[in-house]
Amino acid sequence: NSGGSSSSSSSSSSSSISGSPSSGGSNNSSKGRNGREDIEIDEDNLFTSLHENQIFLGILGLQHQPRHHAPEFLELFRKAGIRFTYVSPTSEQATKAFGYRLGVYTDWNCCISLKSRNVKLERSSLRARLPHGISAIKKHIEKVDNVPLLVSLFCDATPLSTSKMVSILQHYNEVVCTVGSVLNHNNTHIFKRSNCSISLHPAVNDALLNSNKAFACSHKSWFGALGWGTDQNSMSGDWVQEARAMQQVASLLSTPCGLNLPRGDYPLYSLLCVIQRARHLLHAAGKSVQLLVSCNILIHLVLVVGNCLFLPPVLSGLQTLWLVFIMIPLSAASIIHTRQSSLIKNIMSTIPAKHDNKLRHAILVHCIEYFCIRLLPSVIPLLFVFWSTLKNTMDVPWHKVFVSNTSYSDPKAQLPLLFSQNVVAFFIVLYTAIHSMGSLSRHRHVHEFRPWEQYRWLVLSLFSIVLQVGYMCCSLLMAGSDLHVPGGTSVLSCIRSLGIEMYCVGFIWPFAMCGLEWWAKERRLKSYTLLQKRLKLGFETRLGAWSPK
């Protein structure tokens, strides 16, 4: 990344550059677009003639300087568990120098060359023996340690070696996001190889600003020549056509990219905001899907256990479809549309885990354990509510409720059965709303995030309960006239016959659910804290087998 050197001399060199061609040769000159003559001069002879009769005064070293806020943003990426990796085609010294200015770790085991070499270090060498080349990196990871997966600097890179290194990272369950220039055609294959790719509009160097193309664009940014923010009326017709062609090429090269960042003052800040928003949406979607699956399993368990106990159908087919396709998705939507920033603290300080098979198995076991603690006990009160309601509305002994003792094809038993099914459906919706309240935050208790201040969840939850009450009333009113028989029970008589035990069990169980929720979150918080400690230790560890002690 260090640039060339320029010498300062005591005499001006403008007269030498604008001189005529050497005598004896043909005049190979042509007129440029501005009407002046472009003279072809041998660069080697020109530089040699310029250095004659000069007095050396000094030398100036040039270097690429990152923006002053870049180290701060890279530190935020590190805290978020995102490893910033800089891949450079330059040498190791130049890559380390630029990485140091970026704020990247540049001590032991920090830079790996993607170019193969045959020189072997002695075992007594104090240098960190890191692999060189793609094949050596693969062998090192398989037989020695995983240091190549943890370093932040890669030097001597080519487009092919960079693409292979991305494949190696993906093979070891790393999620790779590449950020590169939209005007470099070599980046297109790397963009396609990555899990996520972001095209960035590069900055403009001084050589481009002093060129004729930049002069045709009124000395503005090169992206002005591409049609981005520059008045094209000030350009010549030829440059406008080239600018349009370059704009189309840039759009084509950025096709594999999921996000295009325009050139601005804080592109890394925009990227951080996108990652933060994506994490919020991912957490909300995960909690919503977990609620959706667990509530559906609860409904099926109620039906299966009811059949095993020889009870009549706890829910009708229409009620099951109503709950599965309308009520439960409505409760799940209340979690997605809730503002997650007030529910999750320091989401950008969370270290994400690798999604390998071991982690997937652990997540599955954890979800099953969480479901068994929170929702599985709700099967018992739901079946008790159904049995108690059916017994009281039919006014029969408790053992007469079972299918072996009563024929529910009798018209007198149809309305009490429908009424009991609607009561159970109402309590399922109520328990789902209580469960969704605890699902708003995975690791914080209810009194910490105050769900009554989450207006979207509160409105959707109350709406789902009111909607279920309306469905219950419409179902009973429509079926009351059809199922009522002389000497049978009516809807009002069914309501009056409800026993106190049904109210006690049905409406006291939500408080027990809150207690189970608190216990489950305590267990989850302990396991989550231990997991974060292990992930942070593995993320920040840079030393390998060949590092100094």
Cα separation, 176 vs 24, in Å, equals: 60
Per-residue confidence (pLDDT) for residue 243, from 0 to 100: 65
Per-residue confidence (pLDDT) for residue 542, from 0 to 100: 64
Cα separation, 48 vs 41, in Å, equals: 12
**How is the chain split into domains, by residue range?**
2-17+30-63, 70-270, 282-343+354-536
Cα separation, 204 vs 210, in Å, equals: 11
Per-residue confidence (pLDDT) for residue 203, from 0 to 100: 60
Per-residue confidence (pLDDT) for residue 219, from 0 to 100: 39
Angle ∠(387,390,392) on CA atoms, nearest 5:
105
Per-residue confidence (pLDDT) for residue 40, from 0 to 100: 59
Helix axes 500-540 and 379-394, enclosed angle (nearest 10): 170
Check: CB of residue 273 under 8 Å from CB of residue 318.
no
HSE-CB at 228 with a 13 A cutoff on CA atoms is: 15
For 70-270, give the CATH class.
Answer: alpha beta
Query: For the chain, which residues score pLDDT lower than 50?
Result: 1-37, 122-126, 206-232, 234-235, 485-486, 547-549
Per-residue confidence (pLDDT) for residue 357, from 0 to 100: 80
Per-residue confidence (pLDDT) for residue 33, from 0 to 100: 45
Q: Which position has the token pair 């092919």?
A: 160
Q: Which position has the token pair 């059965």?
A: 417
Cα separation, 445 vs 438, in Å, equals: 8
Residues 6+ apart with CB under 8 A from 449: 342, 343, 440, 441
H or E stretch including 489?
A: none
Per-residue confidence (pLDDT) for residue 229, from 0 to 100: 46
Cα separation, 29 vs 41, in Å, equals: 10
HSE-CB at 22 with a 13 A cutoff on CA atoms is: 9
Per-residue confidence (pLDDT) for residue 228, from 0 to 100: 46
